[in-house]
Amino acid sequence: MDYNKLAELIFPDITKTVADLEERFPKRGLPEGAYVTRLAPSPTGYMHIGGLYAALISKKLSEQTGGVFYLRIEDTDKKRELEGGVEEILRSLADYDIAFDEGPFPGGEKAYGPYKQSERKEIYQICVKELMKKGYAYPCFCTAEELEAIRKEQEEKKADIGYYGEYAACRNLTYEEIEAKIRAGAPYVVRLKSPGNASAYITYQDPVRGTIEMPENQMDLVLLKSDGIPTYHFAHVVDDHFMRTSLVVRGDEWLASYPTHKQLFELCGFEQPGYVHIAPIMKMEGTTRRKLSKRKDPEAAVSYFLEQGFPAESVREYLLTIANSNYEEWHMANPQLTEDDFALSLEKMPVSGALFDMVKLTDVSREVISGFSIETCCEKILAWAKDYDADLYAFASGRKEMFLETIGLWKMSGKKVRKDVAKWSELMQMFDYLYLPQEKFEKTVSYELDEKYTVGQLTEAVEAYKKDLFLDTDNWFDRMKELGGPLGYCPNMKEYKKNPQDYKGSIADLCSIVRVAVTGHKNSPDLYTIMKALGEDTVRRRLDLFLASLS
């Protein structure tokens, strides 16, 4: 077979060569050891937590070595693509503060683009043409029925399933047969003519998993589909070569394809990049572990955490604790440093899938939020509420000073920074009596009442308080003591503890009753400040509402 002639028959319009591509996409002039990494998602309109995890690892590795991190959109499967899918990916990643040096976005189209596979058709065809000239590619005209018949035969013979060796019918077509089929308009794919032998083994050194032995690839896999678009395998080899990726960080579902990729790099005459195959994020179902699933688990989507009000920083921080088990210890030892200061190590990455642990994320997030200043919290809450909580947004944007004050009240109890909030939605639960419009509050309030108070006692206390709310004094607590004395609430805690039988309760009980009546909650930050914020009219309405609820 004259493969040069075959290549001209199949690709008459391709005049450029691989050498032209080598010149167009020269090696990047980066210092020794700098990683060029990438994220290569398909635009399915959905960003999986595993994608964010891979992005975080890839970005860190490039950043800490002074390399390049770019985004490549793998849109070769038009059936799976969703309208606006690329924008969704960019938005999700931006939400998590993952920025790229290069990619298909304004300002990102640099010399190694285009960064969407659908715009690189000619590049793939140049490379396949060259493989064909070397005798490593051929057109295959087999129909679905013919492929099915091959599969059946292999099953009966208990042979490996696939298109290879003696089963690869189109391997042996003559030039004339091929030409006749093409003239007749028969559809075809282009396959690799694999020189591999499945009884030979290759050795692969993975930084996470160590040395792995795998059989050589013997399959004549499809390089170009019938529409001239490449398969993942071929696009990976061409793109990662010409975009000059030096380290491919990808999910371990691709590990089994490594021998195919190694072979393709060799046959194309390209230097192979390094690889890291990362373990997926898992979930327990009953007693078995499984991957987080787009269909079954809301937490598989990165948008879920932001909707819930987890700050992006918390999710990133949590993912880093999965990526390197020493991260947490490092951060505790160096609380003043940020994740940017941490050197991520490939060797410390987990070999088997880590379980996604919501409790752990919550703990990490409480810690992260406690490190934010009051102003930072306010900014972040406002940004979150704008998209996810209209009532909170109305309050926070309409009553900025008051909002700042309540966040201050929540964050600091005495001199200690509170660590009780993991996501912003919890603040609405905490401050519903302040952030909700009155009508909504009235409909939803439930009083956290201590059983020890009788209805008569509650009514008496609230009626008495209602007469004078003391909202214009600096000494609210003293005034409450004066009010409580005649009602039988001991103003002095020590004295009360000594002789509780002499009193209805302590001053703390009286304040607690008023607190529940006004806010519904047993605990709240400084009640006086809260009542001032609510205003006299609202406080009175709340007290009436409470009294009405007793009868």
Residue ranges that bind ligand GLU, judged by CB under 6 A? 40-42, 74, 236, 248, 250-251, 254
Minimum Å gap between C-beta 253 and ligand GLU is 7
Residue matched to tokens 């308080």: 465
List Cα–Cα distances, 390 to 386, 404, 423, 425, 432, in angstroms: 6, 18, 16, 12, 13
Nearest to 70 by CA among 47, 92, 90, 49: 90
Is the CB of residue 518 less than 8 Å from the CB of residue 458? no
Closer of 255 and 545 to ligand GLU (Cβ): 255
Minimum Å gap between C-beta 57 and ligand GLU is 11
Rounded CA-CA distance 67/64 in Å is 8
Strand partners, 204: 212
Minimum Å gap between C-beta 45 and ligand GLU is 13
Rounded CA-CA distance 344/341 in Å is 9
Minimum Å gap between C-beta 279 and ligand GLU is 14
Minimum Å gap between C-beta 74 and ligand GLU is 4
**Radius of gyration of the chain from Cα atoms?**
33
Pairing type for strands 489-490 and 505-506 reads parallel
Rounded CA-CA distance 497/475 in Å is 24
Minimum Å gap between C-beta 249 and ligand GLU is 7
Minimum Å gap between C-beta 59 and ligand GLU is 13
Closer of 247 and 368 to ligand GLU (Cβ): 247
Q: What are φ and ψ of residue 291, in 5° steps?
A: -70, 150
Closer of 35 and 528 to ligand GLU (Cβ): 35
Q: What are φ and ψ of residue 139, in 5° steps?
A: -80, 145
Closer of 249 and 530 to ligand GLU (Cβ): 249
Is residue 536 helix, strand or coil? helix
Closer of 248 and 490 to ligand GLU (Cβ): 248
* The dihedral sign for the CA sequence 267, 268, 271, 272: negative
Closer of 73 and 354 to ligand GLU (Cβ): 73
Rounded CA-CA distance 260/266 in Å is 10
Pairing type for strands 68-71 and 36-39 reads parallel
Q: What are φ and ψ of residue 515, in 5° steps?
A: -60, -50
Minimum Å gap between C-beta 84 and ligand GLU is 18
Closer of 80 and 348 to ligand GLU (Cβ): 80
Strand partners, 288: 285
Closer of 257 and 345 to ligand GLU (Cβ): 257
Closer of 236 and 262 to ligand GLU (Cβ): 236
Is the CB of residue 125 less than 8 Å from the CB of residue 228? yes
* The dihedral sign for the CA sequence 476, 479, 481, 483: negative
Closer of 206 and 317 to ligand GLU (Cβ): 206
Minimum Å gap between C-beta 46 and ligand GLU is 11
CA 54, 55, 58: angle at the middle one, nearest 5? 85
Order the strands of the 222-224 sheet from edge to edge. Answer: 137-140, 189-192, 222-224
Minimum Å gap between C-beta 181 and ligand GLU is 32
Closer of 280 and 525 to ligand GLU (Cβ): 280
Closer of 253 and 463 to ligand GLU (Cβ): 253
Closer of 230 and 311 to ligand GLU (Cβ): 230
Q: How many CB atoms lie within 10 A of CB 524?
A: 20
Residue nearest to ligand GLU (CB): 250
Closer of 303 and 549 to ligand GLU (Cβ): 303
> 389: which 2 tokens?
């909580």
Minimum Å gap between C-beta 442 and ligand GLU is 50
Strand partners, 211: 205
Residue matched to tokens 């009442």: 449
Minimum Å gap between C-beta 186 and ligand GLU is 30
> 70: which 2 tokens?
């770019």
Minimum Å gap between C-beta 251 and ligand GLU is 6
Minimum Å gap between C-beta 410 and ligand GLU is 41
Answer whether the bond into residue 230 is a cis peptide, omega within 30°.
no
Pairing type for strands 247-251 and 274-278 reads parallel
Is the CB of residue 372 less than 8 Å from the CB of residue 338? no
Pairing type for strands 354-355 and 416-417 reads unpaired
